[in-house]
Chain A
């Protein structure tokens, strides 16, 4: 059964909205966890205000009996705690959708095509506990009733979450939950889908956020040093790694700023460790000078930029794909680096491992570009099978190392100089084929060398002659040429129809939304070819030309204003793409992309005009 033709029996989207501090997110997350214990897949999307309290905050949860690629488009169920949440989200409700609202705080429009159920969330919470804080658990109870969620399961989740606060708190929450169930019953909620049956058959799945997946990928890759400085929305990666490092014998330090963070990971890499620093746009910007120092002294480091809305402090808690140009070209001088953009929560895990493999093998910085939407997204993913994870030998050619997937994970490390290479050791030996030189680490007798940010000769001595600058610039960039050649041989990253005149290109977190838009289009008879490279720079040029062959129109989808990837594609391949941009701080939906595809299809194929 292929993805396109799969017909879901269960596929719905819930949105819970309220004020920051209302417990909206935890209500949604608990429901998502309960749904994840059934046969179904779960996918969440969170947006919250930059302030700790106040401001609009919401969580969207999609539940489906099949793989979920995106957060979907319109919403089936809306649970709103206050007027602002209602006003913000009501236009996203599907016609005939369900609204559960707090009648004491929300004024509804009766003439809308929707089913309204008033449940006095706040009043019920106050009556039971004397405070308003429990209203989110009442809402959870109502959702439990609506989808006939196994009550025991929810009890356990509440105990796990509030157990630390003592039995009294747990008891209170169980009562609030019960009140939600009864209120739901009283309202005679119309039940369309049920999440009754918990299952063990999904024991090999777990719910993970993109940020957690990056952190776990780093641990799996053998990274044992992290230095960081807190910044939304990358902080959860740093916090997760800080918690995990001591457990696995690694080390985590919080430092004074992002300059110190990248300096520290360069220092640790010089000392031989696999290293990472998580950050977001403002931090990446501060790292600039050190980033190209790492390129110059040819040390592996991994930087994760969880992009947020910019410029400046911008939209700290919202999503955007607007750091691409800075990542590829940013900083002065010309400094090679590799850019990787994972496409899903699961992919965050595998691409992070790949980032370390590439950093170590090519001795240069790798920037992983994720964004707020994928970082905070939670999805059910298959637990990676690390039992057959293998460390590849030094002699293994980089081109032979597999791209990590659920099927196989190979872990690469830097090629430490052997005894033959230590004779007359040249740290920056100019390898004519690969540009990659043998490296040593402190403690290795006879391997001492100077790593200087000044231009230098093959043996590391400062030298500013025209010949040396020319030779070493080419050497450093040859590594990218080499990588590009390897990418040509990696599995292809485009799919969909081979006989079509329309191509669609995206990068990073939009893969699922584009894929769903393609499915919608294909069901309507519009054939499309989709390209979604994970390594964004360098690109496998021949392969991409192959993808472009025969296409009349190419659409590039991205979440920014200026069309950063489109520029890149235009410059490299001379195509003039049609660009679909969204720059609202929220992810693009399959329907929005489909609307664009439709317009392009009309331009490309006159016949489509009559048929559609």
Chain B
């Protein structure tokens, strides 16, 4: 039986404001999963807390909606315990770059094979409009009534510095690009981040119209294995680029742990030791 988009939707309807960019991101993800024909029961989705953090509610998968900022380490555990599953993580800029920002580097260093959809609206949506790490300097929000004074986080260069093995950026209005990138990200072996600009219509720090004008696809000749070039393109602001900035191949956590198993059981014909044998090792 051929699967349809419906197979990737849960029976819970999204509760976002009409016009919220997150609708597009969710639709793109469902399309990508359908295109890859991944059985829903083999998908684990972990999302954070925020408007975007609700992603897990709307997907038909093994879905986990945990706490603010902790989606990534939760997903690491899930992937390590069930390496055959496709593991997706979704959350906002506050969730992933603010409270949870410390978790990105360790997961990148382990190169855990998961896909992180990071949805940036440059504001805290769910808590009704406070400044986030990506709110531009000078913006007036409820927690910065006289304007944000902290410098804005340059997100892509940070990911590059962490050597995340797949880094892409897209915008919530470009369905085709998002879907293609997501497919590539899910297929990628290792940690992939799909960083998506997605306007909040209720607290419009990032505006849809401006966003569409601001971003242009990376040139066809662009080589995503060249890190220095990736840094250069990631810092460009006129225009800003979208597409796959960086993709390299390096061992995943799963592969490393498999090789640990091989080493540890070399003298036992690559078979796990029994509990009895382990106990005898202490006697």
Measured CB to CB, the residues of A under 8 A from B are: 203, 205-206, 208, 212, 216, 219-220, 225, 227, 244, 246-249, 251, 253, 255-257, 259-261, 263-273, 275, 289-290, 293, 297, 383-384, 386-387, 389, 440-454, 461-462
Q: Contact check: which of A247, A251, A257 meets B81 at CB < 8 Å?
A: A251
Q: Which residues of B sit under 8 angstroms from A248, Cβ to Cβ?
A: 272-275, 278
> A261-B73, A442-B62 are known contacts; what are 7 more A-B pairs with Cβ within 8 Å?
A208-B282, A227-B77, A244-B278, A255-B106, A267-B75, A267-B78, A275-B81
**Min CB–CB distance B55 → chain A (angstroms):** 11
Q: Which residues of B sit under 8 angstroms from A462, Cβ to Cβ?
A: 57
**Min CB–CB distance B121 → chain A (angstroms):** 21
Q: In the complex, A452 Cα to B42 Cα: how many Å?
A: 19
Asked if B63 and A448 sit within 8 Å, CB to CB, the answer is yes
Asked if A445 and B41 sit within 8 Å, CB to CB, the answer is yes
Q: Contact check: which of A264, A448, A449, A450 meets B77 at CB < 8 Å?
A: A264
* Minimum CB distance partner of B49 in chain A: A453
Asked if A443 and B275 sit within 8 Å, CB to CB, the answer is no
Asked if B67 and A290 sit within 8 Å, CB to CB, the answer is yes
Q: In the complex, A28 Cα to B202 Cα: how many Å?
A: 69
Asked if B44 and A263 sit within 8 Å, CB to CB, the answer is no
Instruction: Indicate whether A268 sits within 8 Å of B80 (C-beta atoms), given known contacts A442-B41, A445-B39, A448-B60.
Output: yes
Instruction: Indicate whether A253 sits within 8 Å of B110 (C-beta atoms), given known contacts A443-B41, A449-B63, A454-B65.
Output: yes
B82 within 8 A of partner (CB) = yes
**Min CB–CB distance A97 → chain B (angstroms):** 33
Q: In the complex, A220 Cα to B208 Cα: how many Å?
A: 57
* Minimum CB distance partner of B268 in chain A: A247
Instruction: Indicate whether A263 sits within 8 Å of B74 (C-beta atoms), given known contacts A247-B273, A383-B279, A448-B60.
Output: yes
B85 within 8 A of partner (CB) = yes
Query: Number of contacts between A and B (CB, 8 Å)?
Result: 185
Asked if B42 and A443 sit within 8 Å, CB to CB, the answer is yes
Asked if B77 and A225 sit within 8 Å, CB to CB, the answer is yes
* Minimum CB distance partner of B106 in chain A: A256
Q: In the complex, A253 Cα to B79 Cα: how many Å?
A: 12
Asked if A212 and B282 sit within 8 Å, CB to CB, the answer is yes
Asked if B73 and A386 sit within 8 Å, CB to CB, the answer is no
B122 within 8 A of partner (CB) = no
Asked if B39 and A266 sit within 8 Å, CB to CB, the answer is no
Q: Contact check: which of B12, B76, B82, B103 meets A272 at CB < 8 Å?
A: B82
Q: Which residues of A sit under 8 angstroms from B40, Cβ to Cβ?
A: 448
Asked if B12 and A270 sit within 8 Å, CB to CB, the answer is no
Q: Which residues of B sit under 8 angstroms from A461, Cβ to Cβ?
A: 12, 57
Q: In the complex, A255 Cα to B74 Cα: how many Å?
A: 11
Asked if A450 and B57 sit within 8 Å, CB to CB, the answer is yes
Q: Contact check: which of B57, B61, B265, B282 meets A452 at CB < 8 Å?
A: B57
Q: Which residues of A sit under 8 angstroms from B84, Cβ to Cβ?
A: 443
Interface centre among B43, B80, B253 (most CB of A within 10 A): B80
Q: Which residues of A sit under 8 angstroms from B77, Cβ to Cβ?
A: 225, 227, 263-271, 275
Asked if A264 and B282 sit within 8 Å, CB to CB, the answer is no
B162 within 8 A of partner (CB) = no
Q: In the complex, A407 Cα to B253 Cα: how many Å?
A: 40
Asked if B65 and A247 sit within 8 Å, CB to CB, the answer is no
B31 within 8 A of partner (CB) = no
Q: In the complex, A453 Cα to B261 Cα: how many Å?
A: 34
Q: Which residues of A sit under 8 angstroms from B282, Cβ to Cβ?
A: 206, 208, 212, 216
Asked if B260 and A264 sit within 8 Å, CB to CB, the answer is no
Q: In the complex, A441 Cα to B81 Cα: how many Å?
A: 11
B174 within 8 A of partner (CB) = no
B146 within 8 A of partner (CB) = no
**Min CB–CB distance A529 → chain B (angstroms):** 35
Q: Which residues of A sit under 8 angstroms from B12, Cβ to Cβ?
A: 450, 461
Asked if A268 and B261 sit within 8 Å, CB to CB, the answer is no
**Min CB–CB distance B72 → chain A (angstroms):** 8
Asked if B272 and A270 sit within 8 Å, CB to CB, the answer is no
Interface centre among A260, A443, A462 (most CB of B within 10 A): A260
Q: Contact check: which of B64, B67, B75, B76 meets A289 at CB < 8 Å?
A: B67
B213 within 8 A of partner (CB) = no
Q: Which residues of B sit under 8 angstroms from A272, Cβ to Cβ?
A: 81-82
Instruction: Indicate whether A271 sits within 8 Å of B81 (C-beta atoms), given known contacts A246-B261, A260-B106.
Output: yes
